[in-house]
Every structure is written in C-alpha cells, then in structure tokens.
Amino acid sequence: MRCEPAERVRGRVQVPGDKSISHRALLVGGLAPGRTFLANLGDAADVAATVALLRAVGVEVVVRGPGEVSVFGRGRGRWSSPAGVIDCANSGSTMRMGAGALAGHPLQAVLDGDQSLRRRPMARVAAALEPLGAAVACQGEDGRPPLRVTGLSRLRGGVEVSPEVPSAQLKTAVLLAGLAADGPVTVREAAPTRDHTERLLRSVGLDCATVLDGGPDGPRRIRLVPGEPEPFGLRIPGDLSSAAAFLALAAAHPRARVRCEAVGLNPGRVGLLEVLRSMGAAVEVEAAAAASGEPAGTVTVGSAGLRAVTVGGSLVPRAIDELPLVAVLATQAEGTTVVRDATELRVKETDRIAAMTEGLRAMGATVEGTEDGWVITGPTRLRGALVGSLGDHRIAMALAVAACLADGPTTIEGADCVAVSFPGFFQTLGALVQG
C-alpha cells in the first residue's frame, strides 16, 4: 500500500463492531440454549475464525445481513468433537478463549493457526485452565500451538486461578470454562484488564462479581457462579481500537479534526484516550446509552501541540493494542517519551517493539527499542520510506498514520493484513485524508 502525506485530516468515522466483544458474544451465544441475535458484529477475519470454531462443534451460525447473525446455541456440555483441526487463522483470541469454551464439553479438539499464531505462547492458557481439571496440551515447541483440548462435561469448581500475566483473554478462558464447573470459580488479576466478559455474563443472567483488593488500578478477584447463559440480543458498539488510528492521526496532524461515532468506551479500553489527554490533545467524549452493560459514545479529537509523556504500569493493559500508535505520536511530541512495562508486545502477532523501532527509524525517527517498550525523542519531521508490516495489522495501521505525517510517499509492505481486524481501514483513511 502506497500512502501519501496528508494535507489535512477531517471527517466523521464509523468503525466496525468491536472485535473483542464480537468474539465473546459469539462464544457465549454458542453456550446459551436457543437463538441469540447479534447486530453490528465485527467483520474482521479474526471474528470469522470464531464463527468457524462454533460451526465446527455443531453450533449453527446464520448470517442475516451485513453484521447481523443468529447463533443457535446448544447449551452447556452439548458441543461435539469437530471432524478435523479447527483453524484459528491469525486469531489468538479464538484460540485462547475458544479453548476455555471447549473445555466444558465432553469432546476432543485441536486448535491450530497460521505461522504467526503458531509462534505465540499458549502454555499460559493450559496453565490457567489446569486448576479446573481441563486437559489442554500444547503440541508445538516451547508451549506453542497446535493446542489440544480434551473437554469434560463437568469441571472442578471451588478453585482460584491466578493467570501468569494480566490478560483479558486468559481470564475469559477460565470464566467460560467455569460455566461448566461444579462450584464457584475465581480469577485473581494482579492488575485490571478489560471486563467485556464479566459485563456480558452478568447481562445474560449469571452471577459474576468483581471484588477489588485495592484501589481501582490494583489487584481484583472475579468470582463466577456456574450456570447456563440465557439467549440474548446485542448490538455491538464500534471498535475503539479500530478508531484509534484516526484519533491518533487527528492529534498529531496540524490540520485535523476527526469524530468517531458509536464506539465502545469500556474503561479497560480507553487507555489511548488517557494518553492523548496527557500529551495535550483536545479529546471530547459524548457518552451514549449502554448496551448489555457496555458504555459507548462519540469521541472527537483535533489538532494539538503534543508533549512527551511516560506510559507504564496499570495504564499499559488498557492501551496495549494502541501502543504502536503511541510510538508514532511520540515522534511528533516535544521531548522524550518513554513506554515501559509492555513486554507483552514482544509476543503479539509479531514483536511489535522491534517492528515499530525498525519502521520509525526508516522514516527518520529517533527511537530506541527497549526490553519492554521504547524511548522516543521528538518532534521529528518523518520522511517517506519503504516499511514493512511483518504481517501484523496493528503495525500496518500505525505505520499508515506515520505515513500521513511524513514529507513524502511511504510504501507499506504486507498492508493487506489489516483485514485481520479492519478490512476497510485504508478506504476509511483515504476518505478522511481527502476530506
């Protein structure tokens, strides 16, 4: 993809349905006995992988229209062993959360994926599900996929699980497995992560309570009483992570104003907005009515002189997907920005710390990659260059933002990987830049 510098950036954006909520809504719908209806389901390739998983175990998923599906759930313990290997493609969400959902059924399944997914750590999923008696085994080297799940119709309750890293996906895997337990299941988090699963489970009639063991940014426990979800209807809010690229561009570009409507504003997902405000960006948020406990609204960001910040600690889990964009923003900010405590970026679809370091250096930025983040000094006038996405959708989108700020054309190799989360990304970006 060849990207030209943007003279101005202006307009309104509607982004696809939230990918994280789409995965969870599909899986919970598949566990509910009866018809669940979902509107504004994300059109990402990752979401399609979760639909494929459900169909493989006997759950009927019927497409009614663009973004509209009916899920005819089979209830707890009634999924069937798939006829072959379940292909999770590039979706770590499908593999991790799907393993938890599969564990509560008397079946055997193997979850595999593409070369990128095969490099991602999955032993942590097996470790998180082991206290419930689930038999999950990594068949690749060093705890990598494929992942074999041998499920049971009844799992062990009365347990407390502490995932090795704060992760909403690991937490979700335990909670979905816990629906089939013979007693309450508790997940202990060292730091808060996005709580889409807890909100959804409560909205479908289940007892899922969160207890804070400290302040709002401290440890917490999520206690689930096993049960069967009720079928439900849900209109999924827009994906703030998809909107993030346009919001970041608006903050960094000298002639910009972007309005993103009907996006999710879950407290566990708004870390980028906190970073933008701390950098001096003008951020306006208009709240709207919540759906199934999920806050939503409209976010508007306009041009601003940016200043350097330090990003770390409990803010990192709330902004983990957007940190490559923070690296781009840092190149335009006055001073030295430090991103730390983000080692998890090393084991995403690619090593995102290394990928952004390489890409931004090629564009003339002063950036040092560290073990757990970056040190970036700005402001820098970026130059057009040949850069690579390394097959990572977040890297492709972040480099596209950098390209709009550069003084010449930039070519992004492998840019079609944006389809993993946002197939229409470049069309939307083009409309804003032309506006």
Q: What is the pLDDT of residues 4-33, one digit of tens each?
A: 999 999 999 999 999 999 999 999 999 999
Picking from 224, 251, 281, the residue at the C-terminal end of a domain is 224
**Residue 257 corresponds to which tokens in the numbers above?**
């104003």
Residues 258 and 213 in one domain: no
Task: State whether 116 and 95 are in the same domain.
Answer: yes
The answer to whether residues 33 and 8 belong to one domain is no
From 224, 254, 281, the end of a domain falls on: 224
Q: Which pair of structure tokens corresponds to residue 15?
A: 């982004």
How many folded domains does the chain comprise? 2
Here the tokens at position 224 are: 């689930």
Both 343 and 405 in one domain: the answer is yes
| 50 and 157 co-located in one domain | yes
Q: Residues 328, 334: contact at Cβ < 8 Å?
A: no
Say if residue 132 is in the same domain as residue 241: no
**Is residue 377 included in any domain, yes or no?**
yes
Q: What is the mean pLDDT of each run of 10 residues along the chain (435 residues)?
A: 94 94 98 97 96 98 96 94 97 97 97 95 96 96 96 96 92 98 96 93 95 83 96 95 97 96 93 96 88 87 95 92 98 98 93 98 98 97 97 97 97 96 94 80
Within-domain flag for 232: no
Task: Give me the DSSP letters along 369-406.
Answer: EETTEEEEEE-------EEE-TT-HHHHHHHHHHHHHS
pLDDT for residue 216: 78
DSSP 8-state assignment for residue 305 = -
Residue 416 is assigned to a structural domain of this protein: yes
Pairing between β-strand 2-3 and β-strand 410-413 as defined by DSSP bridges: antiparallel
Q: Are residues 353 and 428 in the same domain?
A: yes
Are 386 and 250 members of one domain?
yes
Domain that holds residue 78: 19-224
- Between β-strands 386-388 and 410-413, what pairing exists: parallel, antiparallel or unpaired? parallel
Q: How far apart are CA 186 and CA 319, in angstroms?
A: 25
Query: Quick check: is 417 in a domain?
Result: yes
324 & 338 share domain: yes
Contacts (Cβ under 8 Å, ≥6 apart) of 84:
56
Q: Looking at 178, 196, 224, which one is the last position of a domain?
A: 224
pLDDT at res. 292: 65
Q: Strand 68-73's sheet: what is its strand order?
A: 60-65, 68-73, 34-39, 233-235
Predicted pLDDT of residue 289: 72
Residue 230 lies in a domain: no
| Triad 198, 346, 126: Cα angle to 5° | 50
Judge if 159 and 267 occupy the same domain.
Answer: no
What is the C-alpha to C-alpha distance for residues 378 and 275, in angstroms, rounded to an integer? 16
Clarify whether residues 243 and 207 are in a common domain.
no
* Helix (H/G/I), strand (E/B), else coil: 48: helix
Give a yes or no: residue 213 inside a domain.
yes
Q: Is residue 321 flagged as an active site residue?
A: yes
pLDDT at 214: 76
Same domain, residue pair 368 and 313: yes
Q: Match 């009634």 to its residue by tokens.
A: 78
Catalytic residue among 18, 46, 239, 321: 321
Residue 229 within any structural domain of the chain:
no
Return d(Cα 354, Cα 345) in angstroms, integer: 9
Kindly report the CATH number assigned to the domain that includes residue 375: 3.65.10.10
Residues 357-415 have pLDDT tens digits of 999 999 999 999 999 999 999 999 999 999 999 999 999 999 999 999 999 999 999 99
Is 199 a domain residue? yes
